[in-house]
Amino acid sequence: MLVPALLDRSLADRPVLRTPGFVLVLVTAAVGLLSVASAPSQGARLVELLAASVGLGALVRNYRALQRLLRERMRAEAAARTEALTDELTGLYNRRGFRALADHQLRIARRSGGDLLMLCLDLDRFKPINDRFGHAEGDRALTEVAAVLRATMRDTDVIARLGGDEFAVLVVGADDATEDAILSRLYRALAQRNGQPGRQYLLSATIGASRLDEDRGADLDDLLRTADAALYRAKRAGRLQAA
């Protein structure tokens, strides 16, 4: 067998083990054995043993460098994927991220018969905040709304800033009682923010809702359109939910 023979230190001085042809065979064997190693640590140990038998220290160094490179590449790719799905200002999902996660939850709900609640939310009087206090303060208002949504919703819910002052939340497993409880918590959280000393303006929002249990054949766009239509009906009716 190849490995026990190489581990015999008395063989390391033989000229044939130093020839380029044999080194190529050795490296090829090492790569093949690494591919079937049961754990990365076993693969690393195998390379070290092989290298020690024939004095191939560079093989160990290159292997370790490759491991570091692969780890860095995986971290960079994960960060790029996260950035592509995340709103830079608020840290919530962006429109692309929301669609990906919400579509996944919708498929699960259809298979399991679960209920979904779609909420579309607009920050009220956002333009006057920008006009009077500047865009930096407008950004601060958006990040405050995002913080309120994080504190109000559950980890299983999908929260996103779709753009501008438009937010969306897909609430998983929400019955009628859950909907009422979530809206109550949301308005209480806004009221607490508005009760902080030194505030220059109040945060308030208009919300529209739609439910999967009312239309089992609805897709994500249907749920968004229905919730958005409910939101604008509330705006036209003047039912602004001021905290």
Catalytic residues: 165
In contact, 206 and 241? CB cutoff 8 Å: yes
- Cα–Cα distance measured from residue 231 to residue 65, given in angstroms and rounded to the nearest whole number: 55
- Cα–Cα distance measured from residue 74 to residue 148, given in angstroms and rounded to the nearest whole number: 33
Name the region of 148 (left: φ>0; alpha: ψ -120 to 50; beta: rest): alpha
Q: Residues near 216 by Cβ (< 8 Å), separated by ≥ 6?
A: 110
Residues in the chain: 243
